[in-house]
Structure 1
Amino acid sequence: MSSLFDCRDETQLLAGMRQARQAIGRGDLIVLPTDTVYGVAADAFSPAAVARLLEAKGRGRQQPPPVLVSGRATLRALVSEVPEPVEALVDAFWPGGLTIVLPAQPSLTWDLGETRGTVAVRMPAHRFALELLEETGPLAVSSANKTGVAAALTAAQARDMLGESVAVYLEDGIVETGIPSTIVDATTLVGGSDPIVRVLREGAIDRARLREVLGDLLEPDPPLDGTDGSA
């Protein structure tokens, strides 16, 4: 039976964090707060746990989950290279609402789904999430909801959707923004003939802030009139 802990209560926080660590170690799922939306998490290096995460959300292998990390050192361990423009993005927006897609480290033995050799990585700006990541290592995390339904803004909302598929729910009240992270694809910065950063999903970090860091390396903004910009 799943458990919900109110982490705003110090006593429940300690018990909840302990049980969340144990659940990850067993290959179970947990729901945790982040700075964007609540996430459902699994051990990134357990293919069975990642498969359970995708099943809980009603999602297939063609939609692999991003990976949350506790800092830059873990990012370096997971990707093949961190180009200088990505370093600048990390300096500007981590911890925070920016997910960065890069080629994965080829030596990693994991299975997140059909990633095509890439991994999407983010460092969240939330104390509980970072403390947990320090102890568990990288977690495969997706928004805590069924696919096609709005992301949960509380752990209780997540439990209504995900039920017993999740072992431990960590509640920290309504998230501050409720806006998912922005996802950028920086894979062509690693050995690509036409290096450019593409925005795969607009979210917490807008294009104007990205362009302040990346300049012309960021893809052109979409036309305001809704056309495709072709002649």
Structure 2
Amino acid sequence: MARIVQPDDLGIAAAVDALRRGELIGLPTETVYGLAADATSDAAVQRVFSVKGRPATHPLIVHIADADGLETFTKQLTPNLRALADAFWPGPLTMIVRANQSVSRRVTGGRDTVAVRCPSHSVAHAVIRRLGHAIAAPSANRFGAVSPTTAQHVVADLGADIDIVLDGGECHVGVESTIVDCTSNDVVLLRPGAVTAEQIDAVLRADDHPQAPRVTDGTASESRAPGMLQSHYAPRARLVLHESGDHVDAGSAPVLDFSGDLHDAAQRLYRDLRQLDADGVALAHIVLPPPGGLGQAIRDRLTKAAAGR
């Protein structure tokens, strides 16, 4: 069973030693907890897919210590890429770029592109720095299930398959990173997150780039990025979505209202969904936040969590 370890110097050292042995660790980031592997080890990366039950064609996100690390993964250092990295890194933005030939196709899901981000969480940053190179780290949960935002969530989901979870407390963002495709002149928003479309657009326009980011249809059959499947982030409970809480006839079913403070709603989103399952709830009513900004990310997660249920 996984040990929850404090992220002091001894804990960081133990986690990095585990990564160097090809093992997986639970790692806090500002978004959600990650299941981290040495990105240069094909065997370790393959174990990520096995432990999560993740399709091999579903690409992983590579986490780097700083923007200089981009050169390891791509030669496509475009003005768009540099502008977004300068504005939002370290932070919850993932950029898809054309991959160098040296990048493992296990990490990329067999594609010629790679997803890269630089996390802002001090623990994740310390691990990457001490390891000396990038990690591959999807969310530390079973594929398609509710993402983890505490060390205890990771142990509950994957405790039998990993040895160490670094405890960085509850994730302060609470939803996965924004993902943008930077492989062409357009910047295409693939997955909404804490870095909003409006913020991305403002950076590009300020840098004399006239195009706004475009939102792709997340139900597309081709999984260009993590989190694009129609059903994802799903609890066992069936969720009924409402645009407003004014006329919810819930009966005895619980009502979760995410229409208030958006930062609070994002941070507690997965905690609340997990609590439904812990309480054995079969049906819950969900009040959605308004679209736009961070609300768009919360709506995206809840819509996918409710799909197919």
TM (norm. structure 1) is 0.87
1:56 maps to what in 2?
A: 51
C-alpha spacing 1:221/1:69, structure 2 compared with 1 (3 Å) = closer
Contact kept in structure 2, 1:46 and 1:110, CA below 8 Å: no
Q: Which moves more between the two structures, 209-218 or 58-67? A: 209-218
| Distance (Å, rounded) in 1 between the aligned partners of 2:57 and 2:40 | 18
2:67 maps to what in 1?
A: 72
Q: Give the drift of 1:214.
A: 1.9
Q: Give the drift of 1:99.
A: 0.1
1:209 maps to what in 2?
A: 199
C-alpha spacing 1:183/1:109, structure 2 compared with 1 (3 Å) = closer
1:187 maps to what in 2?
A: 183
Pairing 1:1-231 to 2, within 5 Å after superposition:
1-7=1-7, 13-108=8-103, 111-136=106-131, 137-188=133-184, 195-215=185-205, 216-220=210-214
Q: Secondary structure at the match of 2:46?
A: helix
TM (norm. structure 2) is 0.65
| Distance (Å, rounded) in 1 between the aligned partners of 2:143 and 2:215 | 28
| Distance (Å, rounded) in 2 between the aligned partners of 1:145 and 1:28 | 16
| Distance (Å, rounded) in 2 between the aligned partners of 1:110 and 1:133 | 21
| Distance (Å, rounded) in 2 between the aligned partners of 1:220 and 1:14 | 43
Contact kept in structure 2, 1:45 and 1:111, CA below 8 Å: no
C-alpha spacing 1:123/1:169, structure 2 compared with 1 (3 Å) = same
| Distance (Å, rounded) in 1 between the aligned partners of 2:91 and 2:47 | 26
C-alpha spacing 1:126/1:219, structure 2 compared with 1 (3 Å) = closer
Q: Give the drift of 1:81.
A: 1.7
Q: Give the drift of 1:52.
A: 0.7
Q: Which moves more between the two structures, 213-222 or 147-156? A: 213-222
C-alpha spacing 1:160/1:117, structure 2 compared with 1 (3 Å) = same
Contact kept in structure 1, 2:29 and 2:124, CA below 8 Å: yes
Q: Could you list the runs of 5+ residues in structure 2 that have no partner in the other structure?
A: 217-290, 292-309
Q: Secondary structure at the match of 1:42?
A: strand
Q: Secondary structure at the match of 1:165?
A: coil
The CA RMSD measured in Å over matched residues stands at 1.8
Q: Could you list the runs of 5+ residues in structure 1 that have no partner in the other structure?
A: 8-12, 189-194, 225-231
| Distance (Å, rounded) in 1 between the aligned partners of 2:66 and 2:110 | 22
Question: Which of 1 and 2 has higher RCO (CA within 8 Å, sep 6+)?
Answer: 1
Opposite residue 153 of structure 2, the aligned amino acid is: Q
Q: Which moves more between the two structures, 178-187 or 109-118? A: 109-118
Opposite residue 176 of structure 1, the aligned amino acid is: H
Larger Rg: 2
| Distance (Å, rounded) in 1 between the aligned partners of 2:24 and 2:215 | 38
| Distance (Å, rounded) in 1 between the aligned partners of 2:70 and 2:117 | 8
| Distance (Å, rounded) in 2 between the aligned partners of 1:175 and 1:220 | 28
Q: Give the drift of 1:116.
A: 1.4
How many residues end up aligned between the 2 structures? 213
C-alpha spacing 1:2/1:111, structure 2 compared with 1 (3 Å) = same
Q: Among the aligned pairs, what percent are the same residue?
A: 36
